[in-house]
């Protein structure tokens, strides 16, 4: 795209229901920001084509690689990603033009009979496909049987309804965008379960050379959301950890004594829950990247590197629950 006045802005999205909802949120915002016609272009990624849990992929970016390739080939003008799926290294020729207002980044529990986490009896089967969630659930030492579960949000919730598991832990943001928050039985306190870096945030990406389009998309950018995500991802990059590593991080922008400041907390936890390191730090609102690097260095000094080895499993159970694969993650 060479001009913001081009008749149609082609917005690329993965084909899952949640991805298309997220893409439509961005498309509507672009239309509202000016006289722009936006059409969605569905592009499947390696992650959509596989039934394996994301933790088993040997490469990063399995949910974004095809979208980025289409951007560089000029087949689309904009790509919308779940920010937590993006590799931390910049991609040559592309730039994050906007980070819209972030959804609540916390994890939630969806359990049978309306139970919260502490009400689940020992031995309850709790499903998750995330080594981070597995690690932190095990570290709580509640006697839960944390089992690997595959599939999109709808099928994970269906596993609870069918009795295949007693509960699942998923991102609150996905349920909010799908209109299914009424099924949440508990929003998990970050003191118990820290979310994934950049969870709940969207990344709106385009070619770095598209100056006019950058101007259009810049109208969607939310400063606070961009700053908190930058701090969390800077931490992840400094740890040299991928999106499936057992790393939790949450940054908040709040008013401090000398003006707005960023408060970042993070942990790294062994998948079996046997060990963990955690810490927090504060910096001014314009020091997001520095804050992430600082806290990551502190975690490494505390022994985080020993806990960041390859995840051997996504749960304690010998068999995963296959809820239909990853196609609509």
Q: What is the pLDDT of residue 107?
A: 98
Question: Could you name the CATH architecture of 229-307?
Answer: 2-Layer Sandwich (3.30)
Which tokens go with 51? 């039934």
pLDDT in tens, 153-172: 999 999 999 999 999 999 99
Name the segment(s) of the chain with CATH classification 3.40.190.10: 8-100+201-222, 107-197+314-322
Q: Return the pLDDT at 6.
A: 53
CB atoms within 10 A of CB 158: 15
- Which fold, 107-197+314-322? D-Maltodextrin-Binding Protein; domain 2 (3.40.190)
Residue 12 neighbours by CB under 8 Å, 6+ apart: 23, 40, 41, 42, 43, 67, 70, 71, 75, 76, 78, 79, 80
- pTM of the complete model beyond 0.95: no
Low pLDDT (below 50) residues in the chain? 1-5, 47-60, 311-329
CATH number at 8-100+201-222: 3.40.190.10
Tokens 């949640």 — which residue? Answer: 18
Q: What distance in Å separates the CA atoms of residue 71 and residue 77, rounded to the nearest whole number?
A: 6
How does DSSP classify residue 317? S
- Strand bridging mode 37-42 / 8-13: parallel
Q: What is the pLDDT, as a whole number, of residue 324? A: 33
Whole-number pLDDT of residue 293: 98
Q: Give the pLDDT confidence of 73-87 residue by residue, as tens digits.
A: 999 999 999 999 999
CB 51 within 8 A of CB 152: no
Query: Given this model, what pLDDT does residue 50 score?
Result: 42
What pLDDT shows up at residue 151? 85
User: Angle CA(93)–CA(224)–CA(301) in degrees, nearest 5?
Assistant: 80
The answer to whether residue 85 is catalytic is yes
pLDDT for position 62: 58
| 80 three-state secondary structure | strand
Catalytic residue among 28, 35, 37, 85: 85
């Amino acid at each position: 795209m060479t001009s913001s006045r081009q008749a149609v802005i082609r917005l690329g999205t993965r084909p899952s229901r949640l991805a298309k909802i997220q893409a439509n949120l961005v498309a509507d915002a672009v239309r509202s920001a000016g006289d722009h016609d936006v059409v969605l272009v569905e592009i499947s990624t390696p992650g959509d084509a596989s039934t394996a849990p994301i933790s088993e992929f040997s490469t990063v970016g399995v949910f974004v690689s095809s979208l980025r390739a289409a951007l560089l080939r000029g087949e689309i003008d904009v790509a919308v990603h779940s920010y937590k799926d993006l590799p931390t290294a910049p991609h040559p020729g592309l730039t994050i033009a906007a980070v819209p207002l972030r959804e609540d980044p916390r994890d939630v529990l969806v359990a049978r009979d309306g139970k919260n986490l502490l009400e689940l009896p020992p031995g309850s089967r709790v499903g998750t496909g995330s080594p981070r969630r597995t690690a932190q659930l095990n570290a709580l030492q509640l006697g839960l049987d944390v089992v690997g579960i595959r599939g999109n949000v709808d099928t994970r919730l269906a596993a609870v309804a069918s009795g295949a598991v007693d509960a699942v832990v998923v991102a609150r943001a996905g349920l909010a965008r799908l209109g299914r928050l009424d099924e949440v039985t508990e929003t998990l306190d970050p003191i118990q379960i820290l979310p994934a870096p950049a969870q709940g945030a969207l990344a709106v990406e385009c070619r770095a050379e598209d100056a006019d389009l950058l101007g259009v998309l810049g109208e969607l950018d939310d400063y606070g959301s961009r700053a908190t995500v930058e701090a969390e991802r800077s931490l992840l990059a400094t740890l040299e950890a991928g999106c499936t590593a057992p790393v939790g991080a949450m940054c908040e922008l709040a008013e401090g004594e000398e003006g707005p400041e960023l408060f970042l907390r993070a942990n790294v936890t062994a998948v079996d829950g046997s060990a963990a390191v955690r810490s927090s730090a504060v910096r001014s609102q314009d020091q997001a990247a520095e804050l992430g690097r600082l806290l990551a260095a502190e975690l490494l000094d505390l022994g985080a590197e020993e806990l960041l080895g390859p995840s051997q499993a996504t749960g304690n159970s010998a068999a995963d629950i296959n809820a239909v694969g990853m196609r609509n993650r």
